[in-house]
């Protein structure tokens, strides 16, 4: 969980909020992270 928290913090509140709002937060997080180039 620690890793997830760190990644979320790096993403930013805007991204985090969008991911949390979506039902598939895990999938969206991974997709967004890849799109960002991380």
Q: Which domain holds residue 20?
A: 2-36
What's the pLDDT at 5?
A: 73
The helices-and-strands tally (H runs, E runs) of the chain is: 3, 0
Dihedral (CA of 1, 18, 20, 34) sign: negative
What's the pLDDT at 25?
A: 55
What's the pLDDT at 38?
A: 46
pLDDT digits (tens, 9 = 90+) for 1-30: 466 777 766 666 666 666 565 555 566 666
């Amino acid at each position: 969980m620690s890793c997830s928290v760190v990644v979320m913090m790096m993403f930013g509140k805007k991204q985090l909020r969008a991911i949390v709002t979506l039902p598939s937060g895990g999938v969206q997080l991974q997709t967004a992270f890849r799109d960002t180039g991380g």
